[in-house]
Amino acid sequence: MAGRWGTGATPDSGFGVFGARGVEGWRALGREMDRQVTGIKSPVGTRRGLAARLRYLTRSAAGREAMRRAGITVRQRTIDAWVAGTQRPRRANLERIDAAYWDLRRRNLGVEWARRLAVRGTRIEIHPVDQTDVRTGRDRDLVVRRVTVRGHRIWDDIIAAWIAGDHEMLDIVWDEIITDLGSDYDSYSYVSSVGFGL
């Protein structure tokens, strides 16, 4: 991870020691992507929420694979009974159905985002760390920065890492993004938030 915030033996060991507040840039990037995932609002425990999730999951091989990844190991006839509404999943399987639904939503949206963003890119707005509590003389002159990120490789890497929950890869990609900010790029290894349109 990039970062000149350190005061100790490792580059990032001192972040926040003078009162700056923020999170790693890669984490803010992932949170913003999570925030933009939309889907069924009805809880999985409601009849409507369960039925909608099961319809979404059972209409494709990708949905069935998402159910397997979530740990749903029941037989097909049980899933058919859930879909028909003649049998209700146990609480553990309700949680797995919900996890499978959101996993598939992320994957499907990731494919769409990759297709659009690789060609036209998008401008990422990077909000610096909150220095409200940092003593004068220890603060930095930081402003909101904007950088346009485009290209198949970088967006493929961002989306694949986000879907897989690969924090190490997201961190690597974040370093690539902030490198475009010039000489003070390390000051944006931690941020208060990131915003962009997908």
Domain boundaries along the sequence of the chain? 23-37+115-195, 47-108
Q: What confidence score (pLDDT) does residue 7 get? A: 46
Distance between CA 159 and CA 180 in Å, rounded?
19
- Band of the pLDDT at 198, cuts 50, 70, 90? low
Short-list 197, 147, 142, CA closest to 174: 147
pLDDT digit string, tens, across residues 93-150? 999 999 999 999 999 999 888 888 877 778 899 998 877 777 777 677 788 899 888 8
- Tell me the mean pLDDT in the region 151-155: 81
Q: What confidence score (pLDDT) does residue 142 get? A: 81
Query: In one letter, which amino acid is 83?
Result: V
Beta-carbon contacts of residue 188 (< 8 Å; ≥ 6 apart)? 25, 126, 128, 142, 145, 178, 181
pTM: 0.80
Short-list 54, 44, 102, CA closest to 78: 54
